[in-house]
Structure formats: structure tokens, C-alpha cells
Amino acid sequence: MAKQDRAVRTRQELICSAAEIFDRRGFMSASLADISTGAGVSTGALNFHFSSKKELGETVQAAAEEGLRYITTTCTEARPSPLQTLIDATHVLATQLGENVVLRAGLGLDNDAAWHDGAELWLKWRSWVRGMLTIAEYEGNLAAGVQPDDACSIVMATVMGIESLGRKDAALYSRRVVTRFWKMVLPSLASQESRAKLDAGGSEVVARWDEHTRAGDGVAGPLTVARCGTRVDER
């Protein structure tokens, strides 16, 4: 059992190391030697777990996809209004982009010119965002004349901008930035009746997430891979 546990830990450390290097240097410049060194194992040990750098990239994206799904599912299961669900999910995603290198690297690979046949995580996120906005439209939560596709484009542009620019300024990965965005957007996006019930700063779902994250009790589930560190400040 101890040997099996050690193999699991080694695999997790390799995923973390690969994510950190993909995130800092991009897929093309990442080397298997540097990834194994970052994980504190030999290149032979890396080859035992992963046959290629491409397989490592696919594994990082698979972990990021699981994390993204966890965010949307957790926020949806709380059953607030669709717009509040969307607000909450953007808050969690923004802070996780700053805290979880696997999630950040997985999304980053989608926009990496050297990466092909990826998981298209941003398209999956866009599909979920549009779904929430479509439900909001059906329930009469959107302001008159607002189309889900148009609103989705604005949300996507903002979140992807936070992900990209946050690599240069980690302060963008914050609740404060997301709250300001929603305070500016909601008067044009939401109907007057629904707007009165929305919290641009996030509902109790986000507050509970923050509390559990600080406590380190594992509530983030698949968002943590062996407690991967984050190195935003090293970029």
C-alpha cells in the first residue's frame, strides 16, 4: 500500500510541476527534464507515469476540466437564481485562477499556439455561461432587449481577460475586481425586479467557499491536486 501511495503522490507532483512550467513558459518551452526536476523525481520516473509531454498536457487539462466542472456544479446546486449562480461562479473561478495552477494552466493551454487537440475548456465554460443566461431570459431575469449571446460575449471577454492579464498582475484574480465588473454590468443586464435580489459581491455560496478554502478542509475537491502551489508572483 505504501508503494502504491508513493506512486500516486509522484504522479500528482508531476502534474503539479507540469502545470507550473506550462503556466510560466508555455507548452513549447516546457521540457520533460525541467518537469521531472520540479517534481523532485528522475526522468525515468516521469516516463513511468507519462509517455510524453503531450500526455502530461492532456492530464493537466483533464484535471482543470474536472475543477471547472466542480465550480459550476457547486454553484448550481445551491439553486440561487441563474444570474446569481453566474455571478457566484465567476467569483470562484477568478480566485481559483490565482490559487490553483492546474486550473490556470489547463485553461492557458487552450490559448497556447503550440498546443493542439485540447479539451477546449473555454468553449465548455462559454456553453455553461450561455446556458445560465438563457435560463435567466426564460425566467424574465434579463433586462428588456438583452440577448443571451450578447451578454455571454461580455462575460467571456471579462473572465478571459482576467485570466490573461492576471498573469502579469495577480491582483486581478480577486473578488474585488469581479464585484466591480458585476456592479457595472448588472444595471444593463438584469431586469429591475431581479437586480434587487442580486449580490454583485457573491452570495453565501461564495462566502462558504472562501471559508472552507481558508480552513483547508478539502472542500475544493478536485480543484486541488496534491495541494499544488501557485507561482503567479514569479512571472
pLDDT (tens digit per residue) in 3-37: 667 778 888 999 999 999 999 999 999 999 999 99
Nearest to 35 by CA among 51, 15, 55: 15
Q: In terms of pTM, does the model score above 0.85?
A: yes
Beta strands per DSSP E along the chain: none
- Is residue 231 very low, low, confident or very high in pLDDT (cuts 50, 70, 90)? very low
> What CA–CA distance (Å, rounded) separates 144 from 167?
37
Three-state secondary-structure class, residue 100:
coil
Question: What's residue 209's pLDDT?
Answer: 76
Superfamily grouping for domain 63-234: Tetracycline Repressor, domain 2 (1.10.357.10)
- Is residue 223 very low, low, confident or very high in pLDDT (cuts 50, 70, 90)? very low
- Is residue 201 very low, low, confident or very high in pLDDT (cuts 50, 70, 90)? very high
Nearest to 18 by CA among 111, 118, 102: 102
* Average pLDDT along the chain: 87
Percent of the chain beyond pLDDT 90?
66
Question: What's residue 178's pLDDT?
Answer: 96
130 near 152, Cβ under 8 Å?
yes
Instruction: Name the CA dihedral angle for 16, 62, 107, 177, rounded to a multiple of 10 degrees.
Output: -80
Task: Write down the residue that cell numbers 474536472 correspond to.
Answer: 66
pLDDT(212) > 90:
no
More confident residue, 62 or 2: 62
60 near 13, Cβ under 8 Å?
no
- Is residue 220 very low, low, confident or very high in pLDDT (cuts 50, 70, 90)? very low
Question: What's residue 154's pLDDT?
Answer: 96
Q: Which region among 56-60, 203-207, 212-216 has the lowest average model confidence (pLDDT)? A: 212-216
Task: Write down the residue that cell numbers 521540457 correspond to.
Answer: 31
Using alpha carbons only, give the angle 84, 89, 93 rounded to the nearest 5 degrees. 155
pLDDT digits (tens, 9 = 90+) for 112-124: 989 987 779 999 9
Question: What's residue 204's pLDDT?
Answer: 86
- Is residue 211 very low, low, confident or very high in pLDDT (cuts 50, 70, 90)? low
64: left (phi over 0), alpha (psi -120 to 50) or beta: alpha
Task: Write down the residue that cell numbers 499556439 correspond to.
Answer: 113
Instruction: Name the CA dihedral angle for 159, 163, 164, 167, rounded to a multiple of 10 degrees.
Output: 150
CB atoms within 10 A of CB 192: 9
